[in-house]
Amino acid sequence: MTVVYPQSYEDSIRYHILHTVYTQSTQPQAGRKLKELALSAGFSSDQISVTMGNWCWSSSEDRHTFGEIFSSRAQNSTNPVILGDSDTDAAKRKQIVEGWHSWSEYDAGFLVLFHGEIVCKKESK
């Protein structure tokens, strides 16, 4: 889950984050299945601890750093943002880059990413 403030930047930032995740060799839905995967690997429920964490970027320095990293990734990526349409791709890429820059300068802005966490404990012998 992602929370972006102000919401005027939400579409381009969320689009970029999701696009980045889905174009890499990742399993973006794997977090939902972590406990199931641990159980299928032979851990019992009492050996599994499932929690949730978050990352929040709110300070001016954090927004600037994170905004620069992701605007640069969006600008310099060789992966198409919109498949098969270079004009729409260039316009969407420009929107994403401008969104990251504008968000990073907005003093009340923040970005929160939530993520699942799992710890599996092996039985001691």
Successive 10-residue mean pLDDT values, the chain, 125 residues: 74 70 64 90 95 92 92 80 68 86 92 88 84
Q: Which region, left, alpha or beta, applies to residue 21 given φ > 0 means left and ψ of -120 to 50 means alpha?
A: alpha
Give the model's pLDDT for residue 80: 67
Give the model's pLDDT for residue 63: 94
For the stretch 61-68, contacts whose Cβ atoms lie closer than 8 Å and that sit 24 or more positions apart, written own/partner, are: 63/103, 63/104, 63/105, 63/106, 63/109, 63/110, 63/111, 64/104, 66/104, 66/111, 67/100, 67/101, 67/103, 67/104, 67/105, 68/100, 68/104
Q: Note the maximum CA span of the chain.
A: 62
The answer to whether the CB of 104 falls within 8 A of the CB of 31 is no
